[in-house]
Amino acid sequence: MAEPVGPVAEALAKVRAIALALPETAERLSHGAPGFHIAKGKFFAYFSHDLHGSGETAVVLKTSGAEEQAMLIEADPDLYYKPPYLGSSGWIAIRVTAPETDWDHVADRIAASWEMVARRRLLEMGGR
């Protein structure tokens, strides 16, 4: 992913700040896009922009599974969608370039995704 500009760059900066504020997180490219993981551990978030020409800019996050994923999409299909590849494993994509993006909500979902991959020791440090 080339370094983004405009609203995409602003969205990436916000996602990056939220994700990297969580305990022991790091960023590295994954398939050409920024991915956020627990240091020496699993990914909990990816930033996706125009994947396969979709025109979508989103943060892709873990959910508890297909049931939660379906519930979120049904409740707000303008905000959530099933992302390619990870969607089949229950991950969700949240669109993040709209001017009315609720960044508190996005931060809560990023923190929830982090909690799903964090070891107990990190959870006790108070990720949220």
Right CATH for 6-124 from 3.30.230.10, 2.40.280.10, 3.90.1150.30, 3.20.20.70: 3.90.1150.30
pLDDT number for residue 2: 65
DSSP code for 99: T
**125: confidence class by pLDDT, cuts 50, 70, 90:** low
Q: Residue 118: its pLDDT value, please? A: 87
Averaged pLDDT, 109-116: 95
Residue spans of beta strands (DSSP E) within the chain: 25-30, 33-38, 43-49, 57-61, 80-81, 92-95
Question: What does the pLDDT read at residue 120?
Answer: 75
Residue 127 has pLDDT above 60, yes or no: no
23-43 burial, b for 16+ CB within 10 Å, e for fewer? ebbeeeeeeeebbbbbeeeeb
Distance CA 96, CA 9 (A): 11
Say what percent of the chain tops pLDDT 90. Answer: 73
Residue 100 backbone class (left: φ over 0; alpha: ψ -120 to 50; beta: rest):
alpha
pLDDT band for 126, please (50, 70, 90 cuts).
low
The whole-model pTM stands at: 0.91
| Domain ranges across the chain | 6-124
**31 band by pLDDT with thresholds 50, 70 and 90:** confident
**What pLDDT is stored for residue 1 in this prediction?**
61
Q: What is the pLDDT of residues 62-109, one digit of tens each?
A: 999 999 999 999 999 999 999 998 999 999 999 999 999 999 999 999
